[in-house]
Structure 1
Amino acid sequence: MGIHDGHRDKMRQRFLRGGLDAFADHEALELLLYYAIPRRDTNPLAHALMERYGSLAAVLTAPVEDLQKVEGIGESAAILLSLVPRLYLRARLAEAQQEQILNSSEKAGAYLMERFAGEKHEVVYALCLDRKGKLIACKRLGEGDMASAGLDIRRLLEAALLTSASAVILSHNHPSGVALPSQDDFIATERAKAALESIGVQLADHIIAADGDFVSMADSGYLG
């Protein structure tokens, strides 16, 4: 038995008996790191991560390449730390998508805020809806702002056709700005509306998200 095996076993038993409620944030990180770093004391690494990022949430949303700047955190540990919250988010989104009716900007905005949580770059989504506003599929169309051709019209039309959508809600985020449409956003909206109309699909809205808030271009009168 290694020098740290007894301590690791005690930590695992604590978790099995009571979950994470009795764990400090650094202890939860220490426990998680066991499964990427088998033969090293992970307590100092957990403290180093908390000191660098300031909170558990910040650790778990940090880029993989930045996590590896912490001495002792290799690629495997960095991927594990990044993977855990993303898996949880995917599970929540998959659960939320079942029988999801997005027939108002408030419902669509709330759904999209989950999608954009933790995104560091601008991302474009298309929500494909049936005639009653039920979500058929949420398609990630790409990354990059509207000025850099982040909106791929071909992929947008493909998503609408493959899902037999009656309507589409376009959405993207402004990671470091405010949720107000730019001139590029207006141009992209007009392109998307015209392209979808050419195949008989309505552009129901274009929702822009930023800093925990969102703006509906339909509610703002930009989609007449």
Structure 2
Amino acid sequence: MAEAGQQDKASGTPHHAGHRQRLRERFRKAGAEALADYELLELVLFRAIPRRDVKPLAKGLIARFGSFAAAIAAEPARLLETKGISEAVVTEFKLVQAAALHLAQAKVMKQPAISSWSALLDYCRAAMAYGTTEQFRILFLDRKNILIADEIQQKGTVDHTPVYPREIVKRALELSASAIILVHNHPSGDPTPSQADTEMTKKIVETAKPLGIAVHDHLVIGKDGHVSFKSLGLL
């Protein structure tokens, strides 16, 4: 394959210019499913790096982070450690991430949580699976189980987030929520609940129940999947 900067003998244009056009055409005709993760990254990189072969950079990012989603969601500081990544590239990645989150959230907000469960899990994974620190998110539901609010209550360290049951219940009352779904991530990637997770969930349930607020589930999100407290019989 021609190296970056080589001229196409027929057209006199850099080889990678023709590659870009061909890749865009494949995307338009066949969609994202027809492209490998590194090729999707190339399409994003094209916008920030207009005159260079970005295939090696895209493949290097996949090798380092593991997937398209993980690369796009990586912390800016980690991305900038990679040779060839500029602030412009980071901006493009974060725009893609923000768009994905908004689209995923739009599918679940103002919708019945139970009947939109698959979309809800997709949103939670998109929002939290690749975080490098723990976040504790609350999904607030009305009497018809419609999702009326989605809020991050706390942010913590790589393995701990301080959670205050009274503050959670107070916020539920402010929103006139009848039920909540607890969600937090495990940056380690393993979604298995810890003993601390179980004890904290029990305290929230005990605080919420006397005030008529139900805890429908507690989801733990990791890069390797998710765990539902309800499915495990812990709620």
Q: TM (normalized to structure 2)?
A: 0.70
Amino acid at match of 2:193: L
Choose which of 119, 137, 146 in structure 1 pairs with 2:130.
119
Q: Are the structure 2 counterparts of residues 70 and 151 from structure 1 closer, same or farther at C-alpha, using a change threshold of 3 Å?
A: same
1:216 matched to 2:229? The reply is: yes
Per-residue deviation, 1:164: 0.8
1:72 matched to 2:84? The reply is: yes
Q: Deviations over 1:39-83 (max 9, x none)?
A: 444334224324434543443333322222221111220232243
Identity, % of aligned positions = 32
Q: Deviations over 1:145-169 (max 9, x none)?
A: 7x85521446423531332101222
Residues 1-224 of structure 1 aligned to structure 2 (within 5 Å) = 6-7=17-18, 10-11=21-22, 14=25, 17-18=28-29, 19-20=31-32, 23-102=35-114, 111-112=120-121, 114-117=123-126, 118-120=129-131, 121-144=133-156, 148-153=160-165, 155-176=167-188, 177-182=190-195, 184-197=196-209, 199-210=211-222, 211-216=224-229, 220=233, 222-223=234-235
Q: Are the structure 2 counterparts of residues 113 and 152 from structure 1 closer, same or farther at C-alpha, using a change threshold of 3 Å?
A: farther
Q: Deviations over 1:72-129 (max 9, x none)?
A: 11122023224314421331222133422338xxx75872453034333322121211
Gaps of 5+ in 2: 1-12
Residues 141, 152 of structure 1: 8 Å contact kept: no
Amino acid at match of 1:179: T
Question: How many Å separate the matches in 2 of 1:149 and 1:28?
Answer: 34
Residues 104, 122 of structure 2: 8 Å contact kept: no
- For the residue of structure 2 that corresponds to 1:97, the secondary structure is coil
Gaps of 5+ in 1: none
State how many pairs are aligned: 216
Q: Which moved more, 1:147-156 or 1:170-179?
A: 147-156
Q: Are the structure 2 counterparts of residues 82 and 170 from structure 1 closer, same or farther at C-alpha, using a change threshold of 3 Å?
A: same
Question: How many Å separate the matches in 2 of 1:67 and 1:219?
Answer: 36
CA RMSD of aligned residues (A): 3.6
Residues 112, 144 of structure 2: 8 Å contact kept: no
Q: Which moved more, 1:171-180 or 1:74-83?
A: 171-180
Amino acid at match of 1:114: Y
Q: Are the structure 2 counterparts of residues 119 and 71 from structure 1 closer, same or farther at C-alpha, using a change threshold of 3 Å?
A: closer
- For the residue of structure 1 that corresponds to 2:40, the secondary structure is helix
Amino acid at match of 1:33: L
Q: Are the structure 2 counterparts of residues 82 and 214 from structure 1 closer, same or farther at C-alpha, using a change threshold of 3 Å?
A: same
Question: How many Å separate the matches in 2 of 1:148 and 1:178?
Answer: 13
Q: Are the structure 2 counterparts of residues 152 and 74 from structure 1 closer, same or farther at C-alpha, using a change threshold of 3 Å?
A: farther
- For the residue of structure 2 that corresponds to 1:81, the secondary structure is helix
Q: TM (normalized to structure 1)?
A: 0.73
